[in-house]
Structure 1
């Protein structure tokens, strides 16, 4: 089965070492740029259900602004408490200046 990638935004819409919150088919997704890479991760913290896209991005992680849990952008795994559950991550493709995301394919 082919992955269904959706064009989400232009690469320039995502700030360097920052995040952009979007919705793809009613799924909140944070598009994050860190260390020259673009990641797609659930925009909902697994601990407090707030938007991760409003948090700080640094060294391949995003920090939840409410309680300070950091998540690895590649795996979605929490690095520190209070979060204990990972958040979903999704595959990103860059096509020219377009950012495409597949919700069907999660990174492992």
Structure 2
């Protein structure tokens, strides 16, 4: 069953930014993206290179892996550039006032 997990406050992220959120009790890292005022959440680990995507670049809705340059659409998780072919897991975002949560299921 999915659990609602607090990630960030809206004022803590500017538009066009990304942030890693570590879930210590889940032994997982999520990537939070703010694009054109909307928030998106994916796993932070590249499905190809096993490196944190938040260490790469965000251009529009595309995040580029810092290891091999592969890319993903942060809105859908779809792999958009090779060598990445496996999509990222995405999470439903829940907004409550100035707080950003996601529905996390492992």
Q: TM-score range by the shorter chain?
A: 0.7 to 0.9
* RMSD (CA atoms): 1.6
Rounded Cα–Cα distance in structure 1 between residues aligned with 2:66 and 2:56? 5
Number of the residue aligned with 2:8: 9
Deviations 1:1-54 (A, max 9, x none): 6x4211122112223211100123222100011122110011000010100111
Number of the residue aligned with 2:105: 104
Contact 1:19-1:54 at 8 Å conserved across structures: no
Rounded Cα–Cα distance in structure 2 between residues aligned with 1:93 and 1:64? 26
Contact 1:43-1:52 at 8 Å conserved across structures: yes
Q: Greater CA deviation, 28-37 or 8-17?
A: 8-17
TM-score (norm 2): 0.88
SS at match of 1:53: helix
How many residue pairs align between the two structures?
104
Task: Give 5+ residue unaligned stretches, structure 2.
Answer: none
Rounded Cα–Cα distance in structure 2 between residues aligned with 1:15 and 1:23? 19
TM-score (norm 1): 0.86
